[in-house]
A and B are shown apart, each in its own frame.
Chain A
Amino acid sequence: MLSPKAFRDAYDDEELAEELPDSPIGSLRDIQYLYGKLYTLATTGGGEYAPYLTPDAADDLIDTDDSLLVVRVDVSGSEPRLADDQLGAVWSTRYTEGLIEKVGHCYFQNRGAGIDHSITHKSGKNKSPERLGEYAKHRFTRWPSEDAVQHLIKEHPDGWIIDRLAEVADNEALLTEIKEEVQRQISGDQTALITVQVKTESNEGYQWPADVDVLMEGMRAQRLSKLVTKNKASDSSGEAYDLVTRERSRTVGTAQDPINYYLGKQREKFPGLDIEEAWRSHPISEDAAVTVMNAEEFVEACTYRTFGTKVYYLPYFFGQPTPEKARKLYGLLYRTAVDDEDMTPVEKAYEEYKQHRFDETALRFYVSAVMPHQMSRYDVFGETLNGRLHYPRQLAIAHNHLVKNTSAFVSEERDDWTAPMPTNEKWELLASGNNRLRAISTGWYFYQTFAERDDTDADADDPRIQALVNVLSGEPIAVDVLLEEFVSRISSEETDDEYDGFPSFLVASQFAQLCALADGDLELLTTFDPGKEPITHEPTYEEYTMEIPDILATDGGHPADAKLESFIEETPALAPDPDGPSITDERRGAFLLGALVGDIGSYQEYSENRSTTLVDQYPVKSITRSRIKKVTQETIAKTLTYTRQEKKEGKSYPGTKADYIVDRLRETILDPDPDEWEIDTDDLRFYYALGITYGMNDHPDWDKVETDDQPDLEEEY
């Protein structure tokens, strides 16, 4: 394959424009056609037969000993005979780069079994000299007698050459000689490409297949015959407008689709479909069909497996392919196909983008998550023709920014109190990292936060696949689905014996994801429920920069109080609605209850050495609208118990324990009465879980406090 630079040198603008389609990219076929074109240009070059050749099919044999066997026949006389010159009847040599074009090999994979359409044949792995001798005979006994090739005897001016080759097959003595000669040349088991050279004029030399037009034409005829005969079709072809080039041409019905979206015989649901008429419903010209098939190498290079599906990411440039866009695309495809680096095409594109190789708004991806059930039965679980680098990249940036720079995840320098959310360098979603784009483009981003599933078999309605495709195409994800997935994952980790304690880091990760998706520029969250709308709004957490002016210092109030106040104010999902009572009040109630449960729970654990705390007592799964009141009463009662207990032990602080949470909780939990709440259960549970995470993490920042302080000072004030 040509390097991008060699590609640039090989084709100037004019030559390249000549090869490119005249219509804009508007379908998967258009993309496949463009890939096929670029691949052909980069491998076999231009020319009539180029799209039919498969120069890479015998790559493994290049520059190995005895990898090419050439049977040499002189058909210039009245009867065919084998060569008797210096090279002899069978010439065993090395298959080299220079010979790739000469042998004109055309091999196609068809459901596991391959077939050579060219007179040149590639043997199976390590065949005995005897077998190789047989294959050499087949060049004459089989190839010339193929129906498609036989047609040429009459139709092609050099059709007689086919006839002469077929005569070799009738001559036992010649066949025996060929076989014996092969066995003489080859000493042991060998994989080889077997071809012929023919001498057609007495005064000329022996010619390679590529130089004998009728042999190449025979190869093409064979190849094309497969486009119209397959399964029960005997000749599925007709005149129609090609769906790629839009030109009127002979269209074929049984061309292979490299990603198996289309099969001639698929009939269920559409009665009256006849494979013989498939050229009508899927009109593709012969050339386009072959070109589309040549896209395979590039298409396969742009795949990735995730969630039990095979995901195709096919990059292309928006609009009409131009030489400039084609070269850039070639560079991208070439590097994706050649590089061993385990990178998704999205990451590759980002690398290229960073080097200013192209304008981002014009680059698109065809993205499709495919579930191959069997060889030929595919299902598509998520698809878009409009994936863009912009959305995953901005999401990565927004997420990194959020966990690294905002007050929700980072505590203020001057504060010795924690940030609202716990962070952990080892939790990918809670630490800023360079791998975020990869996580997003592979789906790992959602794998960590959504409900877990059996990934051996993909599910048509797996929301992770939908979320992945949505993010790539900039389509909003339903916040309802997100909350349902989040809560389901929290509940399963809470009950899983493998995990000890409340999954704080998970909840914080989910929250970070939620906030990143709600980023105002991306708007990747949507809902039909007006009550959930605030969740889709970007939070306004203060951003920390290196310089912090002194005037912002707290007024002497307790840091936990100020922190809670600002966290609520800056989180639209929790902030009081200026227009009066709304679902946010109920959500805030759930959050505050969680915060209190988390706060008292960790007090019980660290100061009281309780093994079962309120957090265990009221797991997320147990919270419903009808239980809210009871849990609230019992939790508040606990704060009074512990206040009394501590004060008896001589500690002194104004008010009661955690009263900054309790006061706010009382306000929200009473009006309206929880019996009349309308908030969805998943919504309620997620924000309750978020509250627990907040409450458990609400303590002095140990990293910034004198280390000889006792942990139980935590609650003292």
Chain B
Amino acid sequence: MGQESLEQWAENDEGDTDSGDTATPERCLSVTVRGPWGHFRRIEGNVVKQTYRIIPRTTVAGLFAAVLGIERDGYYDLFAAGESAVAIQPVSEIRTINMPMNTLSTADGNLQSLNGRGKLSVKLPDPTTLRQQHNYEVLVDPAYRIDIWLADNDRYRELRDMLEAGKSHYVPSLGLSEHLAEIEYHGEFDVEPGPRGDSVDVDSAVPDAVEDIVLEPGTRCQVEESPAFMTADAGGRTTAGFTAYTYNPDAGCLKVKDVEPSRVDGRTVVFV
């Protein structure tokens, strides 16, 4: 990802010169990602495998990077704050089940090399060892409408072309490679300023506005904090920012005051 992205962004989106943490784009691409299963492991566990309910923004970045064919650790700047905008809306009721899975250890000592001295070699756990059963909390039929904008015009166009053509470089998945994702492209939409007022019905998950949610007795409202931005360094990657999403698990809207929502394709969403 060339450094030109920032300049181009400034050129093309003159109306949006505010390069603060949250950029409001003028247009965006809109897709629905869904699959029979999904698992976005919450960072506070590795012994227990619980899942986030809302696909984390970092996973969304990884998903589109997979469509674009960008390698691991190679796309964090492209999806950085100010360089990109993402809105996530759960479109089906959020449901989880426990799915016990048999697993093999991937610790160094338990890995065997296949074709170790060859040009191509791969490490696999010894398939003859005993499995350990672990319980995974898995999302059932997850589906999210995602609106995305990238400051990098070339990448943005490339992504649009790929989505339009229904193509993807790597196989898109929902958290784990075995949970295949289906991407439905809705098109490119203008992003218009959303309704203003004392309180607004927002369709998407609402990032970082927990205090502004109007709690209503009949509406279920939940919060979860998940990684939003990543950064790479010499030794690997770290999370560069978190977002607390407030969402309605029944895939309905939430009443929010003091947010600046946007309108995309007849829906009210909040970008981050």
Which residues of A approach B to under 8 Å, CB–CB? 23-30, 238-241, 243, 246, 257, 260-263, 265-273, 277, 280-283, 318-320, 361-362, 370, 376-383, 385-386, 390, 460-461, 474-475
A29 (CB) vs chain B CBs: closest residue: B44
Are B210 and A268 neighbours in the complex by a CB distance under 8 Å? Answer: no
Q: How far is the CB of B52 from chain A (nearest CB, A)?
A: 10
How far does the alpha carbon of A380 sit from the alpha carbon of B98 in the complex, in Å? 9
* Contact yes or no, B135 A26, CB < 8 A: no
The reply on B242 being an interface residue by CB < 8 A is yes
Q: Which residue of chain A has its CB nearest to the CB of B105? A: A268
Instruction: Report chain B residues within 8 Å CB of A390.
Output: 217
With the chains together, A361 CA to B217 CA distance in Å? 7
Q: Report B-chain residues with C-beta under 8 Å of the C-beta of A377.
A: 47
Please report which residues of chain B, range 214-240, place their CB below 8 angstroms from some CB of chain A when the two chains form the complex. 215, 217, 220, 222-225, 235-240
Verify B241–A27 contact, CB threshold 8 A.
no
Q: A27-B224, A268-B105 are in contact. Are A261 and B47 (CB under 8 A)?
A: yes
On whether the beta carbons of B242 and A246 are closer than 8 Å, the reply is yes
CB<8 Å pairs between A and B, sample of 21: A23-B242, A24-B244, A25-B223, A26-B210, A26-B245, A238-B235, A243-B239, A243-B242, A246-B241, A262-B44, A262-B47, A265-B107, A266-B47, A271-B111, A280-B235, A319-B213, A376-B47, A378-B48, A380-B48, A383-B50, A385-B223
Contact of A380 among B105, B135, B244 (CB under 8 A): B135
Do B239 and A262 have beta carbons less than 8 Å apart? no
Q: Is the CB of A240 within 8 A of B238?
A: yes
A460 touches B135 (CB 8 A): yes
Beyond A27-B44, A269-B106, whether A240 also contacts B98 by CB under 8 A is: no
Count residues of B near A (Cβ-Cβ below 8 Å): 45
With contacts A266-B47, A270-B46, A271-B106 taken as known, whether A475 is within 8 angstroms of B249 at the C-beta atoms is yes
User: B217 and A383: CB pair below 8 A?
Assistant: no
Query: Which one of A268, A376, A378 contacts B106 once the chains associate, using CB atoms below 8 Å?
Result: A268
Given the known interface contacts A25-B223, A361-B217, A383-B50, the answer about A262 and B211 at a Cβ–Cβ threshold of 8 Å is no
| Cβ-defined partner of A361 (8 Å) among B50, B215, B225 | B215
**Apart from A30-B225, A267-B105, A280-B236, what 14 extra A-B contacts exist at CB < 8 Å?**
A26-B224, A243-B44, A260-B47, A270-B46, A271-B123, A272-B106, A318-B215, A320-B211, A361-B217, A370-B48, A380-B50, A380-B137, A385-B222, A460-B98
Within the complex, what minimum Cβ distance (angstroms) separates A231 from chain B?
11
B74 at the interface (CB under 8 A from A): no
Residues in A whose Cβ lies below 8 Å from that of B245: 26
Known contacts A24-B211, A26-B223, A268-B134; decide if A263 and B47 are in contact (CB<8 Å).
Answer: yes
Residue of B nearest to A360 (CB): B217
Q: A241 to B210, alpha carbons, bound, how many Å?
A: 20
**Complex contacts, A263 vs chain B, CB 8 Å:** 46-47
Q: In whole angstroms, how far apart are the Cα atoms of A210 and B223 in the complex?
A: 41
Query: In the complex, which residues of chain A have a beta carbon less than 8 angstroms from the beta carbon of B239?
Result: 240-241, 243, 283
Is B160's beta carbon under 8 Å from chain A? no
A residues in contact with B223, CB < 8 Å = 24-26, 318, 385-386
Which residues from A are CB-within-8-Å of B235? 238, 277, 280
Q: Is B113 an interface residue (CB 8 A)?
A: no
Chain B residues with CB under 8 A of A257 = 44
Nearest B residue to A478, CB-CB? B95
- Interface of A, secondary structure class, is loop
Query: Quick one: closest A residue to B103, CB to CB?
Result: A268
- Enumerate B48-87 residues with CB–CB distance to A below 8 Å: 48-50
Q: Is A269 a contact of B225 with CB atoms below 8 Å?
A: no
B49 to chain A, nearest CB (A): 8
Known: A29-B44, A280-B238. A267 touches B106 (CB 8 A): yes
Evaluate contact between B46 and A282: CB separation under 8 angstroms.
yes
List chain B residues, Cβ under 8 A from A382: 98
Contacting residues of chain B (98-118) with chain A, CB-CB under 8 angstroms: 98, 100-101, 103-107, 111
* Chain B residues near A262 (CB-CB < 8 A): 44-47
Residues of B close to A383: CB separation below 8 A: 50, 137
Contacts of A28 in B (CB 8 A): 44
Scan B84-98; emit 1 where CB is below 8 A from any A CB, else 0: 000000000000011
In the complex with contacts A26-B210, A241-B242, A268-B132 CB distance below 8 A: yes
Name the CB-closest residue of A to B45.
A261
In the docked arrangement, what's the CA distance between A21 and B210, Å?
14
Rounded to whole angstroms, the CA-CA distance of A380 and B225 in the bound complex is 19
Return the CB mask of B243-259 against A: 1 if under 8 Å, else 0: 01100010000000000
Chain B residues contacting A25 (CB-CB under 8 Å) are 223
Q: In this assembly, does B10 line the interface, its C-beta being within 8 Å of a C-beta of chain A?
A: no
Assembled-state Cα–Cα distance A475/B222 (Å): 12
Which chain B residues border A271 with CB–CB below 8 Å?
106, 111, 123
**Known contacts A267-B105, A381-B98, A385-B222: A282-B44 contact under CB 8 Å:** yes
Closest to B212 in A: A319
Name the A residues within 8 Å of B132 (CB-CB).
268
In the complex formed, the residue of B with least CB distance to A281 is B43
Q: Is B42 an interface residue (CB 8 A)?
A: yes
Measured between beta carbons, the chain B residues less than 8 angstroms from A269 are 49, 101, 103, 106, 134
Q: How far is the CA of A385 from the CA of B107 in the complex (A)?
A: 32
* Residues of chain B contacted by A362 (CB below 8 angstroms): 215
CB-CB nearest 5 A-B residue pairs = A26-B225, A261-B45, A24-B210, A271-B106, A26-B244
Q: A270 vs B43: C-alpha distance in the bound complex, in angstroms?
A: 13
CB-defined contacts of A283 to chain B, threshold 8 Å = 238-239
Q: How many angstroms between the C-alpha atoms of A382 and B104 in the bound complex? A: 24
Q: A655 → chain B, closest Cβ, in Å?
A: 49
Instruction: Indicate if the CB atoms of A270 and B106 lie closer than 8 Å.
Output: yes
Cα distance, A23 to B242, chains bound together (Å): 10
Q: Of B48, B103, B107, B211, which is within 8 A of A319 by CB? A: B211
Known: A26-B244, A269-B134, A379-B135. A282 touches B43 (CB 8 A): yes
**Bound-complex Cα distance A398 to B78 (A):** 53
Q: Which of A257, A269, A270, A385 has the most CB of B within 10 A?
A: A269
- Give the distance in Å from the alpha carbon of A376 to the alpha carbon of B222 in the complex: 30
B99, closest chain A residue (CB): A460
Contacts of B104 in A (CB 8 A): 268
Q: How distant is B104 from chain A, measured CB to nearest CB, in Å?
A: 7
Pick from A26, A243, A265, A461 the residue with the most CB of B within 10 Å: A26
* A370 to B49 alpha-carbon distance, docked (Å): 12
Alpha-carbon gap, A378 to B137, bound state (A)? 13
* Bound CA span A475–B44, Å: 23
Chain A residues with Cβ below 8 Å from B106 are: 267-273
CB distance from B28 to the nearest CB of A (A): 26
Identify the closest chain B residue to A474 (Cβ): B220
CA distance in complex: A516, B178 (Å) = 40
Instruction: Kindly provide the distance from the CB of A244 to the nearest chain B CB, expressed in whole angstroms.
Output: 9
Contact A280 B237 (CB under 8 A): yes
Q: Which residues of A contact B213 (CB under 8 A)?
A: 319
Closest to A461 in B: B98
Bound CA span A535–B87, Å = 38
- Minimum distance in angstroms from A382 CB to a CB of chain B: 8
Which listed residue, A30, A241, A273, A282, touches B240 by the CB 8 Å rule?
A241
The answer to whether B238 touches A261 (Cβ under 8 A) is no
Q: Chain B 119-147 against A: per-residue CB contact (8 Å), 1 yes, 0 no?
A: 00001000000001011010000000000
- A23–B241 CA distance with the chains assembled, in angstroms: 12
A180 CB → nearest B CB, Å: 49
Q: Considering the chains assembled together, what is the distance between the CA atoms of A281 and B135 in angstroms? A: 20
Q: Which residues of B contact A318 (CB under 8 A)?
A: 210, 215, 223
CB distance from B197 to the nearest CB of A (A): 21
| Neighbouring A residues of B137 by C-beta, 8 Å | 380, 383
How far apart are the CA atoms of A271 and B247 in the complex, in Å? 32
Give the complex CA separation of A269 and B225 in angstroms. Answer: 23
How many Å lie between the Cα of A285 and that of B107 in the bound state?
A: 26
Complex Cα distance A383/B138, Å? 12
Is there an interface contact between A266 and B46, defined as CB atoms closer than 8 Å?
yes
Expressed in whole angstroms, the Cα–Cα distance for A277 and B44 within the complex equals 15
A268–B104 Cα distance when bound, in Å, is: 6
Do A319 and B210 touch (CB < 8 A)?
A: yes
Most chain A beta carbons < 10 A, residue from B106, B132, B223 = B223
